Structure 1
Amino acid sequence: MSTDPLHALLDEAKRTNTSALVVLKGGEVLLDEVLDGEGDRPLETMSVTKAVLSLIVGRAVMLGHLPGADVKVSEFFPEWRQGRKRDLTLRHLLTHTSGLHNHPHTGQDIYPSQDFVQLALCAELDHDPGTHFAYNNKAANLICGVLERATGQKADDFARADLFGPLGIDDWSWQRDPAGNPHGMSGLRLHARDLARLGQLALNGGEWLIEAEWIEESTHPATPVFPEIGLLWWMLPAWTRYSVTAENVRALEAAGADPRQVAALGRCLCDQVSRDEVLALIRGAGFVPQDAPAGVAWLTTTRGPQAGFRHDGHRGQNLVIDRRRGVVAVRLIAWDHPHVEAPESAFSAFPDRVLGLFEKEGA
C-alpha cells in the first residue's frame, strides 16, 4: 500500500492548523500525530460528542437500562404524560425530529441556562414529534437526562464505568452545566486516538459492549423524515456535489432573508461542484449560511450511495468512518489554537479526503 495519500492528508492537516490526526485501517494505526506543539492532551470534540452519546445510549440498551430507541421520554419524565409531548420518544431526540423549540444560536439560549435538562423539558413544541427535522441541541441535552433516569447515574459517570473504562479510556473530561448535567450537545474532551477507538468500536459492530443491532440502526437512516441521519450519526455518502441555483436564491428571498444575503447568494450560482469550491464561493461573496432563515434550501445537495457514517463539530472537529474500506479517521483542532478561527482551520474537506485515501489501492 502506498503511503503517499497518507502523507498528502498529513500535509493538508498541517496546512489547516490541525492539532491531532489519527487514521486507522482494519484496526491498525496508520497515523497518530499531534501537530500543534502543545502536546498530547484531550481536546474538545464539540458536536462529535453526540456520536459518542449514541454509543453510550447503546451501552445502556445492552445492559437493559433502556428498552430501545422507541421508549417514550414520558416514561422517565411524568410531566410529559399529557399534551403533544406524551408520544415523544428517545428516537425523536436521537434523530433531531423531536419538534422542541431550539434557538439557532446556542450561546443565546442554552449556555445561559442553569439547567440544560430542565430547559429542554420546558421547551414548547414547534412541530409534532416525528414530523420535521431540525438540528436540536436541547434534544441532545435531554438525552443525558433520560440516561440519568434510566441508569441512576449521570451520563458521564455511566460512561466512565460502563463504556470508557472497559475500553481503557481514562484521560478525558466532560463539561457539566451548573446543575451538574453533562452536556449532551458537546463538551466531551478526548484524546484523538481515544475518539478513534470509539469509532473503531462502532465500525466493529459494538463488539462485546454494544449490541450489533443498535450499531446497525444507529449508522443507517433511522427516520423517514430525514434519511441523512441515523441515531445521532450522520450518513457518509461515497461522494457529494453541491449546486446553488436560481431556485435556491428565490427560496431565500421568499423566506424574508436580508436582501444583502439574497444578493450574496446570487453571486454563488454553481452546478455540481465540490465542497471546497462551494465554500470558496460563499466566502468570496459574503454569504453567511447561519443567517439564513431556518429550513430554507439555499443549497442543493446531490449524494452518492452510503459509504459509512460520521459526525462533525464546530471549528472542524471530525470523526469519519468509511465502512467499505474499514477506515476510521479523526481530526481535531484545539480551542486554544492561535488560528482556530481562520477559515482554513475548518478543514471542511476532511471527510472527502478520508474517502479518497485508498481509492488507488482498489480497497
Structure 2
Amino acid sequence: MHRLRLSSKALAVVGTALSTAALVSCAALPGVAPGPPAEKSVSSERLELPTPGVDGWSTAAPAKLGFRAGRLEELARHAKSTGSTCYAVLRRGQLARDWNWNQPRETPREVFSVTKSVASALVGIAAADGDLELDDKVARYVPQWRGTASSGVTIRNLLANDSGRFWSSDSDYSRMVQARDRTRYAVGLDQQHPPGTAWAYNNAAIQVLDRVLAKATGQPTDEFAEEQLFEPLGMSHTRLTRDASGRSTNVFFGMQTTCLDIARFGQLFLDKGVVDGRRLLPRRFVTASVGRSSTPLNAAYGYLWWLNRPGELRGALDAVDPTGQPVEPRDGTLVPGAPSSLYAALGLGGQTLMVDPRSRTIVVRIGALSFDETPDYGLADAAEVVTSALR
C-alpha cells in the first residue's frame, strides 16, 4: 500500500536539519518566544462543543459509532509502536476513544507541517472578513516583490504550492529554519519559475503567508489565530509559535497542540466551515481546500492539505528537473483502496490529522520524531480506521 512518506535518506537529511535548527532557535520547543498573549475580543465569543465527556468532546462506545472495537485496539497498539504520544478516533462529532502515552492528554506537542493546513484556514477566515482575496497579488502585502519576477504571484499560488518561488532542500530545511527572522528570510528569496508552472512543497513560500496575514489583518498571525480560530473552536491547548526574532509567527511548522484539539480543527472542515451554528470559513473555501485538487500539477494537493484524489502525484521531496517538472512522473492516489474524498493535514515524523467525509470519521496521531528503528507512521496507517475498522 502506498504511503506518503520521505525516503530514509531524505528523512535523515530533513530530520537532522530540523533537529539542529530546533536546538538553535527553539522554535519547535516550549522555550520558543510565543509573543504577547492575545487580548480576548468581545466579538470572538467562545463556542461550546457538545456535552463535555473527554476534554470537551461527547463520547460514545466504539461499537455504537460503527467501529469494531477490537480492530481499533489493534490500530492503537500499532500507533503506539511507532512512537506515538497520542491517538484518537472520532466519528459523527463524537469521540470513540483516545489513547495517550508518556504525556498527559492536555500537554501540547509539536505537529510540524500540520501547521500549514491551519495557516490555510487563517487565510480563508481573513478572506471571509474582507481583509484579502485569494487572487490578490502577494506584492500588495510584500512591497519588495513589486516590479520583480515575483510580482505575479498570488495568495492562491502560495496555498496551492505552485508559486514558483525559489526552493532547495538546503534553503527550506536548514537555512530558513535557522534564520533568526524566518519571514524576512522567506520574503527575500528569488523567483525560480513562473507562477503556476512548477509545484514544490515550498516551506519558504508558505512562510510568506505570515507577512500577508499580518499586513491584511493588522494583527500578528499568532494573535489572529488565537482570536479567530483557536478560541471559537475551543482549542484551548493550542498555539502558534514565533521564531527567534519574536516578530514572525511560524506558519510552515511550529504549531503546538493536542490530539483532541486538532480534531476540533478537522471537525470544522468536516462540518463545511461551521461550528455550533457559527460560520468560521466560507463553504466554497472549504471545498477548494479539501474537496478538489488546487493545481493540475499535483492531484494530491488542495490548499495546504493533502488529498486522496486520483491523478498525477507529487511528494514533498520528489526529484525535479531544471524547469521544476518531476523526473519520474507517477499517477495514482496516496492511499489506494481508501475513499478518494479522504483528506489530511500531515507533518514530519508521521503527524496526522485525517478526515474521511464519507463516513464522517476523524483520526489523529501525534508522535515524537525518531531516527532509530521505530517504524514509520503514515496516512495509510490512519486510513486503516475507515478501511478495516468500520463495520
Do the aligned partners of 1:48 and 1:317 also contact (CA within 8 Å) in 2?
A: yes
Residue number in structure 1 paired with 2:136: 71
Normalising by structure 1, we get a TM-score of 0.78
Q: Which moved more, 1:140-149 or 1:166-175?
A: 166-175
Amino acid at match of 1:13: A
Q: How has the CA–CA distance of structure 1 residues 296 and 62 changed in structure 2, closer, same or farther, with 3 Å as cutoff?
A: closer
Alignment equivalent of 2:123, drawn from 48, 54, 57: 57
Name the % identity.
30
Do the aligned partners of 1:74 and 1:81 also contact (CA within 8 Å) in 2?
A: yes
Q: Which moved more, 1:43-52 or 1:303-312?
A: 303-312
Do the aligned partners of 1:62 and 1:210 also contact (CA within 8 Å) in 2?
A: yes
Name the CA distance, whole Å, in 2 between partners of 1:299 and 1:73: 30
Residue number in structure 1 paired with 2:7: none
- Offset, 1:171: 2.2
Amino acid at match of 1:116: R
Tell whether 2:382 aligns with 1:351.
Answer: yes
Alignment equivalent of 1:195, drawn from 255, 258, 262: 262
Q: Which moved more, 1:307-316 or 1:132-141?
A: 307-316
Structural RMSD (CA): 2.4
Alignment equivalent of 1:93, drawn from 155, 158, 168: 158
Unaligned runs of 5+ in 2: 1-65
Name the CA distance, whole Å, in 1 between partners of 2:328 and 2:104: 39
Do the aligned partners of 2:199 and 2:297 also contact (CA within 8 Å) in 1?
A: yes
Alignment equivalent of 1:80, drawn from 128, 133, 145: 145
SS in structure 1 opposite 2:374?
A: helix
Residue number in structure 1 paired with 2:280: 209
Question: C-alpha offsets along residues 72-98 of structure 1, whole Å, 9 cap, x if unaligned?
Answer: 101112222213211100011111111
Name the CA distance, whole Å, in 2 between partners of 1:230 and 1:190: 23
Name the CA distance, whole Å, in 1 between partners of 2:115 and 2:373: 22
Alignment equivalent of 1:334, drawn from 368, 379, 382: 368
Question: C-alpha offsets along residues 54-87 of structure 1, whole Å, 9 cap, x if unaligned?
Answer: 11111111222122x2111011122222132111
Do the aligned partners of 1:34 and 1:40 also contact (CA within 8 Å) in 2?
A: no
Residue number in structure 1 paired with 2:39: none
Name the CA distance, whole Å, in 2 between partners of 1:163 and 1:53: 10
Normalising by structure 2, we get a TM-score of 0.73
Q: Which moved more, 1:33-42 or 1:290-299?
A: 290-299
Residue number in structure 2 paired with 1:149: 215
Unaligned runs of 5+ in 1: 243-288
Q: Which moved more, 1:74-83 or 1:26-35?
A: 74-83
Residue number in structure 1 paired with 2:185: 119
Tell whether 2:252 aligns with 1:185.
Answer: yes
Name the CA distance, whole Å, in 2 between partners of 1:310 and 1:291: 19
- Superposition pairs of residues 210-289 of structure 1, within 5 angstroms: 210-219=281-290, 220-237=292-309
Aligned residues: 307
Amino acid at match of 1:316: G
Q: How has the CA–CA distance of structure 1 residues 88 and 343 changed in structure 2, closer, same or farther, with 3 Å as cutoff?
A: farther
Q: How has the CA–CA distance of structure 1 residues 163 and 84 changed in structure 2, closer, same or farther, with 3 Å as cutoff?
A: same
Name the CA distance, whole Å, in 2 between partners of 1:44 and 1:31: 22
Question: C-alpha offsets along residues 5-24 of structure 1, whole Å, 9 cap, x if unaligned?
Answer: 21221121122221001111
Amino acid at match of 2:79: A
Q: Which moved more, 1:310-319 or 1:176-185?
A: 176-185
Residue number in structure 1 paired with 2:26: none
Compare the two structures and name the one with the higher helix fraction.
1
Do the aligned partners of 2:259 and 2:365 also contact (CA within 8 Å) in 1?
A: yes
Amino acid at match of 1:333: G
Name the CA distance, whole Å, in 1 between partners of 2:162 and 2:261: 30
Amino acid at match of 1:321: V
Amino acid at match of 1:346: D
Q: How has the CA–CA distance of structure 1 residues 353 and 49 changed in structure 2, closer, same or farther, with 3 Å as cutoff?
A: same
Do the aligned partners of 1:6 and 1:357 also contact (CA within 8 Å) in 2?
A: no
